[in-house]
Chain A
Amino acid sequence: MKNNSLWSDALYRLSRNRAAMLGGFVLIMLIICAALAPWIAPYSYSFQDLNLGASPPSSDHLLGTDILGRDLLSRILYGARISLLVGFVATGVALVIGVSWGIVAGYIGGRVDSIMMRIVDVLYGLPFIIFIILLMVIFGRNLWLLFGAIGAVEWLTMARIVRGQVMGLKNQEFVLAAQAMGVSNLSMFRRHLLPNILGPIAVYATLTIPQVMLLEGFLSFLGLGIQPPMSSWGTLIKDGVESMEEYSWLLIYPGITFTITLFALNFFGDGLRDALDPKTSDN
C-alpha cells in the first residue's frame, strides 16, 4: 500500500471483513429504499382496502395486508424512513452534546473537568428511560421531542470516550505548538483536536444508532413513541403483536426487518472498530 494514513489503512482492513461489508451493504440498500419509499412502495402507507382486511402475502401484496387492508410492504418501507431518521438524528444530537462536552472537559482539565465528569457519572446512574417516558407524557408525543430526548440520554458514553482521547492528545507537540502560537480554544477544538479523534467518534456513533433505534422501538411499542397514522418499525411490531394469533405475518415481517437492520448496524460498527483500532480486535 502506498498511502498509509489511518483512514486508508482502516478502509483496507474494513474491506477484508466480510461481516462488516455485508452489514454496510444492507445498510446502504435500506437507506436507499427508505429515501425512495414514495416512489418504490407499491401503495401509499395510509391507503386502505377495507374489503380486503388482513390478508396473507399474495402477488398483489407481497407481504400481505394489515387489518385495515393496508399493504404491509409499503408500511415497512415508509416505517424505515421514521426508524432510520430517529436513529440518525438522535445519534447526531448525542454526538454534538457528547463531543463538545468531552472536548471541553478533557482539554481544559482541572476543576472544570472534574465537575463536568462528576455530572456525567451522576447522570449515568439515573433511570433515563423513565425520564424519556415522563417527557413524552408531559409534552405530548412529538417526533422532535423524541429525537431530543433520546439524544440527550445517549451522549454520556460519547463524552467519556472523547474526554479520554483528548487527555491523551493534550500534551502532544502539535497541540503545544498551536498553544504557543496563540490559537484560540475554539479553533483548537475544531482544527487540531477534532480531526484526531474522528475515528473513535465514528465507531461509537455507528454503535449508538442501533441503541437509539431500539429505544425508539421500545417507546413506540409501549405506545409512547411515534403516533399513528405515522408508523415506525416499533409501531408496526406493536400492531403485529396485537393481532399475531390470527395474522402472524404482521408481526414476523416487521420483526425480521428490524432485526436484520440491527444486525447490519452492529456488524458494521464492530468491523469499523476493529479496522480503526486493530489493538482491540483481538478480543
Chain B
Amino acid sequence: MLTIFFKRILLAIPVLFAVASITFFLIKIAPGGPFDADRAVSPQVLKNLNETYNLDASNWEQYVDYMSGLIQGDLGPSFRFPGRSVTEMIATGLPVTFELAFYAILIALLMGVFSGVLAALKRNTFLDFIPMAIAMIGICVPTFLMGPLLVLIFGINLELLPVSGWGQLSGDKLLPSITLGFAYAAYIARLSRGGMLEVLNQDFIRTARAKGLTERMVVIKHAMQGGLIPVVSFLGPAIAGLLAGSFVVETIFQIPGLGRFYVEAAFNRDYTMILGTTIFFSAMIVFFNLLSDLAALWLNPRSRDA
C-alpha cells in the first residue's frame, strides 16, 4: 500500500514537470504578444514592458527562469493586472472555488448515495424508477443549461433566491452549489445503485443476514462498504469535471473564483495567468486522483494487504 503510494507520487512529479514545460512552450508559440492591446502601444513603452517582464531574453532563459520560480511557488506576474502576481490571484480565487466545489460534492454525495442505495434496495419499484429517471435528466441537462434554468425559475420568476453573487446576499450560495452538484448527484446515484446491486447478491451479505443482523446493519455496515467503491473511485476524476463545471457556474453566477479568473484570462490572453492556473489545476487534479485511488484501494479489503 505504502509502496503504491510512493510510486504514484514519484510518477506524478515528472508528469507535472512535463505539463508545465509543454504549456510554457505552447504559449511561447502563440501568435500575438500579451501587449497587443486595442490601442497600439508606443515602441518605447513596449520596450520597457518587455524589459520588465524579461520578454527579450531567449525562450530557453525565460523557461529556466520560470521553472526555478515555479519550484519556489512563484508563478510570475500577471500580464493583465500589473502589480499582482499570479500566485496572489490564485490565492484569492481558490478559497471561493473550493467552497463552491465542497458544497457541490456534499449535495451530490448526499443526494446521489441516498437515492442510489434506495433504488438498489427497492429495485424495479417506483422508488427505483423515479430517482433513476431524474438521474438521467441530471446527466443529459448540461450545467450551462441547468444553471440559467434554475436562475430563471427560482431567481427571476419566483424571486426566491438571488440570481448571482457569492456570500453577499443570504441564500446566494444555494443555486450555484445545486447547479454544480446536480450532474454529479446523478452519476453517483447510478454508480451507487450499480455497485450496491452487485454486492447485495454476494455470499457475505447472505451470511450477514443469516447471522441475524438487522437489515439496516446489513446495508450500512456490510453492503455499502463494498457497494460504494465505484463512487469513491469516481470522486477523483469528478474533481476534474467539477473544475470545468466551476468555469461555467462561476461565469453564470458571477462568482469571483478561480474558474472565472481562468476564463477571463483566456479571453484577455493573460498568458502568465493561463500558464500558472493550468499548472496549478493539473497539480490539483493529479493530487485528487491519487487520493481517490488510495481511498478506493483502502476500502477494498482484497487489495488492502497488498
Q: What residue in chain B is nearest A248 (Cβ atoms)? A: B152
B144-A237 in contact (CB<8A): yes
| B278 within 8 Å of A (CB atoms) | yes
Q: What residue in chain A is nearest B151 (Cβ atoms)? A: A244
Q: Report B136-154 CB contacts with A as 1/0, cut-off 8 Å.
A: 1001111111001101100
B198-A283 in contact (CB<8A): yes
Residue among B247, B262, B274 having the largest count of chain A Cβ atoms under 10 Å: B247
Distance between Cα atoms of A244 and B152 in the complex (Å) = 7
Distance between Cα atoms of A122 and B282 in the complex (Å) = 11
Q: Contacts A125-B15, A126-B285, A266-B139 hold; do A259 and B274 have CB atoms under 8 A apart?
A: no
B281-A130 in contact (CB<8A): yes
| A176 within 8 Å of B (CB atoms) | no
B156-A245 in contact (CB<8A): yes
A217's partner among B30, B144, B151, B278 (CB-CB below 8 A) is B144
| B26 within 8 Å of A (CB atoms) | yes
B282-A127 in contact (CB<8A): yes
| A35 within 8 Å of B (CB atoms) | no
Q: Which residues of B are found within 8 Å of A125, using beta-carbon distances?
A: 15, 285-286, 289
| B240 within 8 Å of A (CB atoms) | yes
Q: Contacts A137-B30, A221-B144, A222-B248 hold; do A126 and B152 have CB atoms under 8 A apart?
A: no
B142-A126 in contact (CB<8A): no
Q: Which residues of A are found within 8 Å of B11, using beta-carbon distances?
A: 122
Nearest CB of chain B from residue A141's CB, rounded to whole Å: 11
| A214 within 8 Å of B (CB atoms) | yes
| B252 within 8 Å of A (CB atoms) | yes
| A218 within 8 Å of B (CB atoms) | yes
Interface residues of B in 247-306 (CB under 8 A from A): 247-248, 251-252, 262-263, 266-267, 269, 274, 277-278, 281-282, 285-286, 289
Q: Report B167-207 CB contacts with A as 1/0, cut-off 8 Å.
A: 00000000000000000000000000010011000000000
**B-to-A contact residues, CB < 8 Å:** 11, 15, 19, 23, 26-27, 29-31, 136, 139-145, 148-149, 151-152, 156, 194, 197-198, 237, 240, 243-244, 247-248, 251-252, 262-263, 266-267, 269, 274, 277-278, 281-282, 285-286, 289
List 16 A–B pairs whose Cβ atoms lie within 8 Å, in order of A's numbering.
A125-B285, A129-B247, A130-B281, A133-B266, A134-B23, A217-B144, A218-B142, A218-B248, A222-B247, A222-B263, A237-B148, A251-B152, A255-B148, A259-B141, A266-B136, A266-B140
